[in-house]
Amino acid sequence: MPVPYLEGNYDPGSSTPTSGGSSSADARKGGHRLEQAAQPAPAPLPMVSGLPAIWATTLGRSAIRSSQVLLVAALVWLVVWAGTRVPLVLTPVLIALILASAISPAVRWLTNRGWPRVLAVGASFIVILAVFAGVVTGIISLIRHQAKDLEARAVAGINQLHEFLINGPLALNDEQLNAARSEVQKFFAGGSFGTDALTGLRTAGETIAGMVLMAVILFFFLKDGDKIRAFLIGFLPDRHQPTARLAAERATIVLGGYVRGTAIVAATDALIILTALLILHVPLALPLAAFVFIGGFIPIIGATTAGTLAVLVALVANGPAQALTMLIVLIAANQLEHHVLQPLLMGKVLNINGLVIILALACGTMLSGVVGALLAVPLTAVGWTIFKTWNGHRAPGPEPINPDKPGSVV
């Protein structure tokens, strides 16, 4: 078979023709193209959680963290702002949530012993409402029937203390004391404290409506608390739901332990003060003890502030010696509360620095008066518990950047 004519040289031992002077140049170009094809593609830029590696620098991480802090602060501000606009709704919800956390162990105890869920919830609900209504009615009755006498003796005690500060060994300036007294009276009577303390409780109708709403919400929290929690957690991504469930369980434990521990501490303080008042034959012992019990639900300053009223009444009724004795009893009760009762009952629940508690009380009082002061500390404890749980149980992230491994991530 004849060989077809091809331009260039032909090697009989090869089936590939060559093309004269351009053959070497074409071979070099072909080899260069083969080398380019053999080289690996450039490695992509390292990614940091789906973002370019520039965010792995100190400045980038600081920017990310600052943005997160600003976002959380804006969200908290939005929640607080919305809550202050609807106190008649938010306050019953928070109180019902706290009470439900405190009562849930009783419901669990009954259901574990064979009680139907609805019956256990109904029994616990009726008992807590009866106790709550009895305590509130008793305290209001005591204070209402002796309010004028209590106010008169408190004012007399303040005046007597005023005279002692002027004419006693301290010899303070009368004008300075009068100015300080007027500022205090203005603060409590016409200032922001008086306005905020009555927010949401301006009329009897609002008070009754809030209590009824709180009772209804409390019943549903006790009956369907697990379903409500699962419904809310369902909005989160699947990888965050286990951590959210753990945070919710720990928050419930913290709230329940706080309420039970605070109630025991407040009752102990009130019992100590009542015993001292009865021994010293100080009038108005029961209403004064009721004030101490109410103040006990405000940590650090509540029981001490309420006990100061008992010291003033003792000063007017029985003289300086009895007032000094009452003051010593008050200090002893305060030390017992802070160094024995609270560490024993709430050591693991209220693991918050005292400065944080004071700041929370100040913010709560400014936002919602007495109700805010009562709710500030438990809500702060819950927030801290959720933060610690979330920060300590993060979902495993991608591997850190390895300079020797292209495409590795943080």
| pLDDT tens-digit map of 344-375 | 887 667 777 778 888 888 888 887 777 788 88
Predicted local distance difference test score (pLDDT) of residue 371? 79
Nearest Cα neighbor of 284 from 384, 408, 170, 152 is 152
Whole-model pTM: value is 0.64
Query: Between these two residues, 371 and 254, which has the higher pLDDT value?
Result: 254
Predicted local distance difference test score (pLDDT) of residue 34? 46
Out of 136-140, 163-167, 203-207, 310-314, give the one with best mean pLDDT: 310-314
Q: What is the largest CA-CA distance in the chain?
A: 140
Give the mean model confidence (pLDDT) for residues 13-37: 49
Number of other residues whose CB lies within 10 A of the CB of residue 401: 15
Give the mean model confidence (pLDDT) for residues 201-229: 81
Q: Which helix (H) or strand (E) holds 198?
A: none
Tracing tokens 């929370």 back to the chain, one arrives at 360
pLDDT band at 408 (very low <50, low <70, confident <90, very high): very low
Predicted local distance difference test score (pLDDT) of residue 95? 86
pLDDT digit string, tens, across residues 194-214:
444 444 445 667 777 888 888
Report whether pLDDT(130) > 80.
yes
What is the Cα–Cα distance from 375 to 386, expressed in whole angstroms? 17
Q: Where are the domains of the chain?
A: 86-392
pLDDT digit string, tens, across residues 280-326:
988 888 888 888 888 888 877 788 888 888 888 888 778 888 889 99
Report whether pLDDT(33) > 60.
no
Burial 342-354 (b: 16+ CB within 10 A, else e): beebbeebbebee
Give the mean model confidence (pLDDT) for residues 255-283: 89
What is the Cα–Cα distance from 28 to 30, expressed in whole angstroms? 5
Q: List, as one string, the DSSP characters of 36-78.
A: HHHSPPPPPPPEETTEEGGGGSHHHHHHHHHHHHHHHHHHHHH
Residue 350's φ and ψ, nearest 5 degrees, are: -105, 65
State what percent of residues in the chain have pLDDT above 70. 66
pLDDT digit string, tens, across residues 387-396:
888 887 544 4
Burial 148-160 (b: 16+ CB within 10 A, else e): eebeebbeebbeb
